[in-house]
Amino acid sequence: MGKHGKKDTLRKFSRRDFGKLVGLSLALPALGPSVLRGSGLMKNGDQVTSQRKRYTTKDLFTGSEVRTFTGNSLNEIAFPLGGIGAGNVSLGGRGNLRDWEIFNRPAKGRTLPYTFFAIWMKREGSQPLARVLEAERRPPYGPAFGLPTGEVSGLPRLKEARFRGEYPFAWIDFFDDDLPLDVSLEAFTLFIPLNSKDSSIPTAIFRWRLKNKARKSVQGTVVFSMANPIGIAKEGEKPGNCFANYFGSNLNQFVDESDLRGLVMSSKKHPSDDIRFGSVAIVTNHKDLTYTTHWVRTGWWDDIQQFWDDFSDDGLLKPLPDEGPTPEGRTDVGSLGLRFSLKPGESVDLPFILTWHFANRVNYWDPEPEVKGKGLKNYYASLWPDALAVAKYVVENLKVLEQDTRRFHDALFSSTLPGYVLDAVSSQASIVATNTCLRTDDGSFFAFEGCGDEGGCCPMNCTHVWNYEQAVAHLFPDLERSMRKTDFRVNTDEKGDMAFRTKLPVLLVRWKFRPAADGQMGTVMKLYRDWRFSGDREFLEDIWPQAKRALEYAWEYWDKDRNGVLEGEQHNTYDIEFLGWTTMTSGFYLGALRAGEEMARYLGDVESARKYREVFEKGRGRIEAELFNGEFYIQKYDPEKAKRYQYGAGCLSDQVLGQWFATVAGLGYLLDPSHVRKALSSVFKYNWRTDFSNHANVQRVYALNDEKGLVLCTWPKGGRPSLPFPYSDEVWTGIEYQVASHLIFEGFVKEGLSIVHGVRDRYDGGRRNPWNEVECGNHYARAMASWAVLLALSGFRWDGVPGYMEFAPRVNEKSFRSFYSTGGGWGQFRQRVNGEKLIAALIQHYGSQTINSLALAGIPRHPKKAVVTKNGLGISNTVESVRDKTTIQFSLGVTLNTGDELRISV
């Protein structure tokens, strides 16, 4: 890679790309990709954001820029890098590498000793400078033995940093007046929707960008040092230096192949089937290198002292005599330095590619003897034998892999959606690529609910928690379908009882617990969604018999009289059982009946379809008659039979959750639309708080003091049980996104956006990590409901069965851009409204799908014809308008492949 102008080239990639594809006529006002944004250092970043005001229209609707972080707001940032099921290392707000979770389990707070980037530079005629490539550490500074030496806490750093994260990319600009260089870092992970293989690579990519701002030439080295970590595996294994009993026979080797050079780290101590076995590679395609495979092995701090003295002397690393693998109980640090020489004004990009390979996972989370301690192989281990092989694959394919990743980023972020929405949507999509999720060697996808700090929390594929997420379903639908196969083919017994958790390895033992009403009925709806999104008939046919059993199990267990309302013990996502009638569970049941009706009819099972419809109609009638109190849907139950943990007359944020799912999945209304809207507006009216100072909550605390948030339940008309269901006073981001998107779907855009803004203000970098929304654990799966906000604001829906695509922008409709993804491809949708004219475009960035009809919204004049071109060539079509929806039919279908552009003028 050359040294000249790369920075600009890289930053402008997406804009040029778009310009080429879209042409000038659609060049929208100056809303370039966010990577182009200005670089003035925010001065108010030393304060955690103050949160006293209600949101104004300006707060909610202005600007699609994503926030940046400085000062105290850097403190909690940990931006996860790493593939799906591959674990992570996270980039801290200061440029520090933190939370090394690459060893098949969470490990918040794990740093690796002496693992850091540093720079040496010499301006012609000046004294050299050496700095750790991090911003200065921030308070508190008080550990019992001083700040950690393994984090080289006492070495000089750069003064300040400004962090910007647009998953899967993060950028840090560093500021230090002592330096003759502008220094910034681009870090990213490979994340390509619909490409679940390449999105599962165990890698993190770091690209240092240096620009000489001096009048003299500057030469230097950027060095990455890293402790060989092979041997780390278990909880609590957080080495502060190179000594630990799980280290030994660690070996770092320099490799130099055609387009790849670097260090490979391994250990001979552990057998290849051991969880401690593995390898790490740090490689580059840069050519001018200096390196050392290891530091000295003598006592005290000799190793880092000699390294730092050597490096800061001339930026060159003196070779040390080969000492072979490390002795028992210790490991080595290796350092790879990339040399540069910059004339005034020149720039260079210095890439470091980190890969890892720890094939062996063990079930540490289940107590059942059939599965406890059982081994599992990682999917990536079925593709590559070790970290060097991964590195070679990445380097060889980097151009395409990075291009696709960047196109996803650009399609998502060069949007006219509000910046905080893009932030919410993208940041929580990262959950799929954290330790919450894993893939086994056959490619199957499994997931906890979230992560404790050192172990997954609440295994596995919990049906009711995964009811809320929409990101995996829309970005990696093959992984989502993998979960459906597990739900129905592994966990549903012959009676139709669905275990709502999965034991791994599968089929050895089944989770024994009462079924979850919301989880089981919701999973039938998810099957419908995933079938329609994929258009995959085989997938449906394969699963339908079990799905039918699961649906009809309601008639054995919760709705014996088939009146369309669930009764009896309804275990649910609040970890208790609701009794009596509630829309929270019965809403899913109505949705499942409707989904069942559609699926049965599609597969020719007309009788089942009729039955489901009949029960659905009964249930809907009873619910409307019995549970809607004029403002919202309540729970009816016998307080004598349930002294605890119900909600009764309360206003539940999840009260029309099933309806929300039906809307997302295109099932239409389950309940009276006017009641749904009234219920949603009541949820906002009663459950949205703009201050928590006086909110008395003895349960878990996710919002407090001056924060804003949506409470799970309130009792605006009184009737709060003395012991309402646990979690009722809590605030869950997954529910907030669900309600927010539902509000937007129903036209309460400002209300919905307020909720989204409120969530992200709580995750402001100083209070909490923006890339880790917590509930019962870190990276909590429910938070992936945020993807529905994008769906709601763009009004996007894809139905793969008829090849139907729909857009109905609900914000910035006159000049709109947003990401879309179908079962086969993804890209960006754009529309401009000019008077009565609407110009729209689909720019396909990846994959392929055939569109048979495309519905657009907001054209009130009922147009009769449309001009449609694909890559400039006309496409015949017919137009039909109903209310404000204009549907364009392509009798022959339009197939969009990567790079294709479809333009519509109506």
382 binds its own copies (CB under 8 A): no
717 binds its own copies (CB under 8 A): no
298 binds its own copies (CB under 8 A): yes
* Positions in 86-115 near its own copies (CB under 8 A): 108
- Which residue lies nearer to its own copies by CB, 146 or 319? 146
Determine the interface stretch with its own copies among 190-198, 300-308, 743-751, 896-904 (rule: CB under 8 A).
300-308
696 binds its own copies (CB under 8 A): yes
- Select from 24, 30, 144, 873 the one that contacts its own copies (CB under 8 A): 144
- Select from 9, 272, 629, 705 the one that contacts its own copies (CB under 8 A): 705
300 binds its own copies (CB under 8 A): yes
* Positions in 594-653 near its own copies (CB under 8 A): 644-645
Q: How many C-beta neighbours within 10 Å does residue 272 have? A: 10
- Shortest distance in whole angstroms from residue 650 CB to its own copies: 15
- Select from 2, 38, 40, 142 the one that contacts its own copies (CB under 8 A): 142
Beta-sheet strands, E only, within 268-418: 279-284, 289-292, 333-342, 347-357, 360-362, 375-377
153 binds its own copies (CB under 8 A): yes
Residue 690 φ/ψ, nearest 5 degrees:
-100, 5
Residue 892's DSSP bridge partners are none
CB 278 within 8 A of CB 272: no
- Which residue lies nearer to its own copies by CB, 52 or 883? 52
258 binds its own copies (CB under 8 A): no
In angstroms, the CA 660 to CA 788 distance is 10
316 binds its own copies (CB under 8 A): no
State which amino acid sits at residue 690: T
Q: How many residues bind its own copies (CB under 8 A)?
A: 74
CB 752 within 8 A of CB 758: no
900 binds its own copies (CB under 8 A): no
* Positions in 774-793 near its own copies (CB under 8 A): 774-778
Per-residue interface string for the shown chain with its own copies, residues 736-775, x marking contact by CB under 8 A: --------------------------x---xxxx--x-xx
305 binds its own copies (CB under 8 A): yes
- Select from 37, 137, 216, 377 the one that contacts its own copies (CB under 8 A): 137
- Shortest distance in whole angstroms from residue 153 CB to its own copies: 4
**Nearest CA among 614, 507, 499, 493 for reference residue 545:** 493
- Which residue lies nearer to its own copies by CB, 300 or 641? 300
Dihedral of CA 103/104/107/108: which sign? positive
Determine the interface stretch with its own copies among 35-43, 332-340, 445-453, 891-899 (rule: CB under 8 A).
445-453
- Shortest distance in whole angstroms from residue 733 CB to its own copies: 11
Chain centroid to Cα 586, Å, comes to: 29
128 binds its own copies (CB under 8 A): no
In angstroms, the CA 116 to CA 614 distance is 64
Alpha carbon separation from 34 to 91, 373, 415, 416, 444 (Å, rounded): 19, 46, 9, 11, 35
- Shortest distance in whole angstroms from residue 448 CB to its own copies: 12
Q: How many C-beta neighbours within 10 Å does residue 561 have? A: 10
In angstroms, the CA 658 to CA 433 distance is 27
136 binds its own copies (CB under 8 A): yes
- Select from 544, 702, 737, 745 the one that contacts its own copies (CB under 8 A): 702
- Shortest distance in whole angstroms from residue 225 CB to its own copies: 12
Determine the interface stretch with its own copies among 21-29, 43-51, 434-442, 742-750 (rule: CB under 8 A).
43-51
Per-residue interface string for the shown chain with its own copies, residues 61-80, x marking contact by CB under 8 A: -----------x--xx----
* Positions in 450-469 near its own copies (CB under 8 A): 450-453, 457
- Which residue lies nearer to its own copies by CB, 148 or 344? 148
312 binds its own copies (CB under 8 A): yes
CB-side neighbour CA atoms (13 Å) of 123? 15
Dihedral of CA 307/313/315/319: which sign? negative
Pairing of strands 129-135, 157-158: parallel
Q: How many C-beta neighbours within 10 Å does residue 607 have? A: 9
- Which residue lies nearer to its own copies by CB, 703 or 854? 703
- Which residue lies nearer to its own copies by CB, 152 or 838? 152
Q: How many C-beta neighbours within 10 Å does residue 252 have? A: 27
708 binds its own copies (CB under 8 A): no
**Nearest CA among 751, 756, 762, 757 for reference residue 737:** 756
Contacts of 401 (CB under 8 A, 6+ apart): 190, 192, 198, 201, 394
Burial 47-67 (b: 16+ CB within 10 A, else e): eebebeeebeeebbeeebbbb
